Structure 1
Amino acid sequence: MDPVIIVGAGPVGLTLALALARQEVPSVVLDESTGTDEPRPARTVVLREDTAALLERLTGVPLSEEGTRWAGWRSLRRKQVMREITFDDDEPAPLHIAQHVLTGALRHALAGERLAAIAPDSRLDTVEQEPSGVTAHTRGAGGTWWRGSYLVGCDGPRSTVRKLQDIRFPGRTAVERHAVAALRTELPWPDQALLHRAPPWRTSGPSAGEVVGRPLPDGVWRLDWLLPPGKDLVTPELLLTRVRETLAGWTGGPTPPYELLDTGVHTVHHRLARRWRAGRVFLAGDAAHLLGALGTQGLDEGLRDADNLAWKLALAWHHGPHEALLDSYQTERRAVVAARLRATDQSLPLLRGGGGLRSYVPGSGRGHEGLLVDGHLGHGPLGVPGGYASSPLAPQDLEGEVPVDTPAGAPVEDVRVTAEDGSFVRLRDRLGRGALLVVLIAPGTGVWDRKHWVTAGIMPRLAAAVAALPHPAELLVSEEYPGAAAHSVLLIRPDGHLVTALNGVRPADLYTAAEATLGGPPPAPSEAGTTTQETTEATAGSR
């Protein structure tokens, strides 16, 4: 079968290629560039714990050593500290890393991957769909025709794939603008990120109402100043003044020594593609959505797109198209991003409107800080990773379903588990292989050799139930899981989202849940072919 064509060699496209390769699906990445990434220290990304774990699992690189995990977070308003957070096991630290470092790690991993290839200097200009696959044409030094099973547009905000499929991309332009600088200096809060609203020092030019400082390795910091509405030009002189005033204000004296490494202006747009699937063509990352105001991280959502889509494409590639499963990518991911955009847009007037009675209500400032912290740290509606509770893949009416601390559809906790070979591993290490995961909660198993309990109690019956599932599944055992009683059985998707928790071994419920997770019973071969052709013809007719 033909490889998956991935258009765009940014972090999302490269991540998708690696995720497919781990599930034995070949791909080719069409890269407009020459295959090198210019170092830009001011262009960085913040990753939550689970997306950082995804990238480390795919690249084999300990990204924590390439970026910085913050020791803490502080929010200030004028001279008052509004909130302080110390990161520990109960509050995992975000990972802050330069984007070119992340992209380099992904490219290096792909260079040794037999099932993936990057085609540099390949600019897409044509996409044609047929019932059996996709044909794409590129121009440039590597201009040629490419044949693929599916095509995924990871080609950014100006996506050629999206335009060729005539998919609308409505939303708001220039929701926020930030002046950005990367510099090497010494600040009073080593390895701590901070948000400072209404700083007390006098500023030159338009008011600097908010500045964010985020540490990187080797004493480097990224500073972001929220710019007032409008299109005022950010001159080098104005930016240097901002740097000096901010550093002096934070250190409480003259401007400390610093080395300016990179600068820029970052404009935040909020947009959401009407469709994320058109037959055998999909959109992911910035090609499908733009968000990022109030500290929310767009790339983190793009990586979740890739993780969600990879296992579904892999199943379709190996076993034939299952339309309900492929359709669920758009249903799940678009709903999550739309909810994030709605939450951000609803908060923007409150946090950026200024003046009015609400600004004088006691405690309102502290509530505002909380909303902004949510966006920056991945909490609340502005930042928490989205779940798929309303997914069409969610099983219904399971007799033995019980609640645990993780809601159905949400990402699972990274507990220690015993694998089938008896080794102790982290649960997240078993994700991304295309298999379902079945986890038995069995207190006490961690202190006994696996050979003593693998054939005892309920294990044989559970192993038989797992072997009978309609899709390959790996049986794991954990001593505990938050909120789960002994002998609970968890079913987990290949992308790490909880399907259900059952109170004991219930083969019928387990099978029903697994079948629902795959999109229901697979269609007959003739039905699958008809559905795919009808979808392709409908897509062609809409262009």
Structure 2
Amino acid sequence: MLFTHCRRIAADRGRRAVDPVIIVGAGPVGLTLALALARQEVPTVVLDEGPGKEEPRPARTAVLRPDTAALLERLTGTALDHHGVRWTGWRSMRRRQVVSEIAFAPDEPAPVHIAQHVISGLLRAAAADQPLVEIAADSRLDSIEQEPSGVTAHTRGPNGTYWRGSYLAGCDGTRSTVRKLQDIRFPGRTAVERHAVAALRTELPWTDQALLHRMPPWRSSGPFAGEVTARPLPDGAWRLDWLLPPGKDLVTPELLVARIRETLAGWTDGATPAYDLLDTGVHTVHHRLARRWRDGRVFLAGDAAHLLGALGTQGLDEGLRDADNLAWKLASAWHHGPHEALLDSYQAERRAVVAARLRATDQALPGLRGGGGLRHIVPGTARGHDALLTDGHLGRGALGAPGAYTASPLAPRHLQGEIPVDTPRGAPVTDVQVTAEDGSFVRLRDRLGRGTLLVLLIAPGTGVWDRKHWVSAGVMPRLAAAVTALPHPAELLVAESYPGAPAHSVLLVRPDGHLVTALTGVRPADLYAAAEATVGGAVEEGVGVEAGVR
């Protein structure tokens, strides 16, 4: 069935049949990559080491930033609010004092807290309805062979066989077999942080609001370090995380239950409220970064490429960004032939962003977790520490904000008409309402992930007029002609406004939603140069993937 779809797509494009992309690992990152490629008409085979489903683990959850939540909603066709909790606010407390409190308006982007098995379930359901995605259960990878024209993987188990693919992506987690088979080093730090975790159903004095409580005033029971985080889940459930001190002190069930009761009683200023314990565990945070994320036709993504998570940062959120970045580049190579500069940019961009986040966290850890020091004698130091932790949990600042590809090899150079807007070059664009080519009003993020560049004209007043009245007026015909002439498929959109962008400016946006450039007016030469740089520059004759096989 999948081979038939491969041949159909190739025939539609007047090309020979192309093998599917092999994805190793059927977790959230692997399934996201498969669906993102399918959205761009690229077939995939997902090798699932397990039986094809995940056991529910309420204590294993993820906090998704607004743009990664939007990515999953596009791919699954499901609003995550129905399966997780979009935070209404955030509070940071120290002892009995509220250090900071943030409220999110109903229409304001906010983090979404959701169980990982729920994410996987939504992705699996979407993949089951997608003919371009084949999931092979009970398929454990044991060898990879690369050739100039493709890659061959062998799996063992009940369905052991050989699989032929155009590329292979290792999304197979911390102990990645793909990474080991490619002999890629994975250096870093072990047990940077440890947390005792409990998922429980209870009634707290607040709802849908996350809380970071440092040095709570009640007596600590057992090996706990005086910091607890509470994050809401659906149906009155919560995930509670207690920071553990360095070392390997055993957290027994008795100690954890005592801490649960003590914490709940402290928050409710009385007796421990009734609660239903759903799941427990100890979460150990490691910081590691693979030396290489690309080896010829083989790529790494998610936990196979990096581990992070201290100080509120989210590893799965970064893994989903890996998949979003890699998908459109693999899709371009699959449809139009390999372009080494474009494929190499995946490692250059994503590894740099994750490395910067790891450095920022490692630099902040000694001051935040160390005993004594300046925080006891310098006024306001503790408040500054709480602000850093808030940034990590809310996806802001150096610890948590989405990375910008400012030093990307795909960044265009020497554009005469470039102007600054509120979004830095290489950063994710702000989601605004736009008018599509068919005249419909949609969100900018809804047009992402289709493999096309987005050209956004800022034209105040167009929202109140029917498209037929302005599509052939002013700068539109000239801009439409320039978009048609670009070296990569592009879609022309129009917006009433964009933060920091003057009227009649033109923004070029990558398929994964990062800003390429903003230009003053319609400048066909600058727009072409920027688009050409975004897809890796002009393709040289005779240059193919052989250069990348090692």
TM-score range, shorter chain: over 0.9
CA displacement at 1:64 relative to structure 2: 1.1
- Give the superposed CA RMSD: 0.8
Q: Deviations over 1:235-263 (max 9, x none)?
A: 00011011000000000001000000000
Q: CA deviation at 1:90?
A: 8.0
Where does residue 495 of structure 2 map in the other structure?
A: 478
Instruction: Measure how far apart 1:91 and its partner are.
Output: 5.1
Q: Does structure 1 residue 278 correspond to structure 2 residue 291?
A: no
15, 33, 36: which one aligns with 2:50: 33
The answer to whether structure 1 residue 169 and structure 2 residue 182 are counterparts is: no
Alignment partner of 1:121 out of 138, 147, 168: 138
* Equivalent residue in structure 2 for 1:489, among 506, 528, 545: 506
1:137-163 deviations in Å (ceiling 9; x for gaps) = 000111100000000000001000000
Distance in 2 (alpha carbons) for counterparts of 1:212 and 1:13: 29
SS at match of 1:249: helix
Partner of 1:189: 206
1:101 alignment counterpart: 118
Q: Is the CA contact (8 Å cut-off) linking 2:24 and 2:172 kept in structure 1?
A: yes
Matching residue of 1:136:
153
Find the counterpart in structure 2 of residue 535 from structure 1.
Answer: 548
Structure 1 match to 2:444? 427
Q: Hey, what's the Cα distance between the residues in 2 that align with 1:510 and 1:305?
A: 26
From 296, 299, 303, the counterpart of 2:316: 299
Q: 1:310 aligns with which of 323, 327, 338?
A: 327
User: Partners in 1 of 2:107 and 2:361 — Cα distance?
Assistant: 26
Q: Does the aligned pair in 1 maintain the 2:149–2:166 contact within 8 Å?
A: yes
Deviation at 1:36, TM superposition (A): 1.1
Separation (CA, whole Å) in 1 of partners of 2:87 and 2:174: 29
User: In 1, Cα distance between the equivalents of 2:54 and 2:38?
Assistant: 23
CA offset digits 1:265-287 (Å, max 9, x no partner): 00000000000000000000000
Structure 2 residue matching 1:527: 3-state secondary structure: coil
Q: Which residue of 1 aligns with 2:3?
A: none
Superposition map of 1:214-253 within 5 A: 214-253=231-270
The correspondence of residues 2-21 of structure 1 with structure 2, limited to 5 A, is: 2-21=19-38
Q: In the TM superposition, what are the counterparts of 1:234-383 in structure 2 within 5 Å?
A: 234-383=251-400
Q: CA deviation at 1:535?
A: 2.6
1:97 is matched by which residue type in structure 2?
Answer: I
CA contact (8 A) 2:429 2:514 kept: yes
Instruction: Judge conservation of contact 2:340–2:548 (CA < 8 Å) in 1.
Output: no
Taking the aligned partners of 2:289 and 2:95, their CA distance within structure 1 comes to 36
Give the secondary structure class of the aligned counterpart of 2:191. Answer: strand
TM-score (norm 1): 0.97
Secondary structure of the 1:5 match is: strand
Tell me by how many angstroms 1:209 deviates: 1.1
- Residue type of the alignment partner of 1:121: D
Which residue in 1 is equivalent to 2:539?
Answer: 522
DSSP-derived class of the 2:205 partner: coil
- Cα distance in 1, alignment partners of residues 70 and 390 from structure 2: 22
Amino acid at match of 1:333: R
Q: What CA distance in whole angstroms lies between the structure 2 residues aligned with 1:148 and 1:207?
A: 49
CA contact (8 A) 2:223 2:251 kept: no
Equivalences, count: 533
C-alpha displacement of 1:354: 1.2
Alignment of 1:142-161 (within 5 A): 142-161=159-178
Distance (Å, rounded) in 1 between the aligned partners of 2:418 and 2:386: 39
Cα deviation, residue 208, structure 1: 3.5
Q: Which runs of 5+ in 2 are unaligned?
A: 1-17
Note if contact 2:375-2:382 (Cα within 8 Å) is conserved in structure 1. Answer: no
Name the CA distance, whole Å, in 1 between partners of 2:543 and 2:364.
46
Q: CA deviation at 1:360?
A: 2.2
Instruction: Report if the CA contact (8 A) 2:411-2:533 is conserved.
Output: yes
Q: Distance in 2 between matches of 1:194 and 1:435?
A: 40
Match of 2:431 among 402, 414, 418: 414
**One-letter code of the match for 1:128?**
E
Q: How far has the Cα of 1:296 moved from its partner?
A: 0.2
| Cα distance in 2 for residues equivalent to 1:208 and 1:506 | 58
What is the one-letter code of the residue matched to 1:268?
V
1:67 to 73, 84, 89: 84
The amino acid that maps onto 1:136 is A
Residue type at the aligned position of 1:332: E
Q: Which residue of 1 aligns with 2:11?
A: none
SS at match of 2:543: helix
Amino acid at match of 2:135: I
Q: Are residue 213 (structure 1) and residue 226 (structure 2) matched?
A: no
Spell out, residue by residue over 1:74-100, the C-alpha distance to the aligned partner (whole angstroms, 9 max, x if none): 000011110000012685210000111
Q: Pick which of 137-146 and 202-211 moved more.
A: 202-211
Give 1:112's aligned residue.
129
Structure 1 gap ranges (5+): none
2:8 matched residue in structure 1: none
Deviations 1:412-443 (A, max 9, x none): 01000000000000000000000000000000
Query: Which string of whole-angstrom CA distances, capped at 9 and with x for unpartnered residues, describes residues 111-134 of structure 1?
Result: 010101100000000000000000
Preserved CA contact (<8 Å) 2:31 2:123: yes
Q: Percent identity over the alignment?
A: 80
* Pairing partner for 1:57 from 64, 68, 74: 74
Task: Determine the C-alpha separation between the residues in 2 that align with 1:66 and 1:38.
Answer: 16
- Is 1:506 the counterpart of 2:523 in the alignment? yes
How far did residue 356 of structure 1 move?
Answer: 2.2
Q: CA deviation at 1:203?
A: 1.6
Distance 2:221 2:466 in 1: 68
Residue identity opposite 1:269 in structure 2: H
Q: 1:508 to 1:357 in 2, by over 3 A?
A: closer
Code of the aligned partner of 2:397:
G
Q: 2:212, 2:184 → 1: CA distance?
A: 37
**d(CA) in 2 for partners of 1:203 and 1:117?**
50
Tell me the CA shift for residue 73 of structure 1: 0.5
* Conservation of the 8 A alpha-carbon contact between 2:374 and 2:381: no
State the alpha-carbon separation in 1 of the partners of residues 448 and 376 from structure 2: 46
Cα deviation code 1:286-331 (max 9, x no counterpart) = 0000000000000000000000000000000001100000000000
AA of the residue aligned to 2:372: G
Instruction: Choose from 404, 409, 413 the match for 1:392.
Output: 409
* 1:142-191 Cα deviation digits (max 9, x unpaired): 11000000000000010000000000000000000000000000001111
Per the alignment, residue 484 of structure 2 pairs with 467
* SS of match in other structure, 2:482: helix
Hey, what's the Cα distance between the residues in 2 that align with 1:177 and 1:125? 32
> In 2, distance between residues paired with 1:534 and 1:453?
48
Structure 2 contact 218–266 (Cα < 8 Å) conserved? yes
Amino acid at match of 1:451: K
